[in-house]
Amino acid sequence: MEEMEKVEALTVKHRTQTRIAQLPDMIKEYAQWLEKTKKPQTVLEYVKDIGLFSDYLKERQREEKEPFDESTFRELKRDDIEEFLFSYLSKHEKVYKRLNGKEVQQTFQNKEKSQRRKLSSLRSFSKYLFMEAKLLQEDITHGIEIGSVESRTLPYLKKTTQTAILDAMEVYSEDEFQKVRNQFMTFLFLKVGIKTGELLALDIKDVKVHEKKLRIEREGQEEPEMLDISKVPGGIIHKYLELRAERKIPIGWHQDALFVSIRNKRLNRRTIHYIFQRYERFVELDQRLTPQLLRNTFVMETPLKNESDLAVSKQLGVKDMYAMKRTYPIIKQKKQTKKNAT
């Protein structure tokens, strides 16, 4: 029996080594760290989960034309974990290559049990990046729970805080361009519910001023989504487009970008988070100022009226209703409150 267990342990270790050979060095180092305290089977399961998370990050970076390297892990935020758990995992496709060379495409859907296991793996990985590798400033999985969605409280911004943030941008921005750009982005998160990745991919031509629409390309959809931007102040839109047109940007991927940095490059995730964090010290907040916090506020302020969960899900770009209920349980609560009031 003992000999059999040794053989099984060696087999598991071989499978682990085979898997990590195809993964970034960061995950290889993480696996070595795990081996000090975890059983071989546990190491294998964690590596499989973090490998899938790595696939998600690599796919996202490719779409945003950003490099996938150590800086990708250094810049991880809580938003990235939640997006992976509650949106990406709800339905994702993966192409495997068999030993005979034939490629097979499989579609996966992860429910609560699987999400719990992956969150456990991500907690371990976050601990490694924070405590051991010293790449993160905090545990980015802290506070993320998978359980009774009805009991989850969605953090959001009150009207007074929203106004304070916009006022801070008015007063403390370095120049007119950055002020108007940052206010425009804030309104898109607050009033449209746009995703960070969608915002970064926007080109100037995607803003349909006269129709008051925003053209969004979404993965898995043949036709672009046209989002209503009538609640975004027209003065902000016009002013930003004027200032953006004045910038001399060399021909290339950055030339058509709607949102660019002071160095005339298309914004990336790191810059977006840095922009909002700059204003935190001027406003009283209970949590970090992030695009996800602004999107939460959009959900809280969206009047349901005759709109279904599906309509709100479509606006937010959440893939399916299971992911919607996991991420935004407040919608069910709002519907129940409305029903009780009638």
Q: Give pTM, 2 decimals.
A: 0.68
Q: What are the structural domains of the chain?
A: 2-147 (1.10.150.130), 159-331 (1.10.443.10)
Query: Is residue 303 classed exposed, middle or buried when 0-12, 13-18 and 19+ CB atoms within 10 A define those classes?
Result: exposed
Task: Place 3 in a pLDDT band, splitting at 50, 70 and 90.
Answer: very low
Output DSSP code: residue 108: E
Better pLDDT: 151 or 218: 218
Q: How far is CA 147 from the centre of its chain?
A: 20
Whether pLDDT at 151 is above 80: no
Contact (CB, 8 A) for 147 and 113: no
What's the pLDDT tens digit per position in 53-65?
999 999 888 877 7
Give the CB-side neighbour count of residue 227, counting CA atoms within 13 A: 26
Q: What is the pLDDT of residues 155-185, one digit of tens each?
A: 889 999 999 999 999 999 999 999 999 999 9
Mean pLDDT of 115-143: 93
Token pair of 240 as six digits: 């930003």
Choose the weakest-confidence range: 140-144, 148-152, 166-170. 148-152
Q: Is the pLDDT of residue 257 over 90?
A: yes
Q: List C-alpha distances in Å: 243 to 30, 181, 260, 284.
A: 46, 9, 11, 30
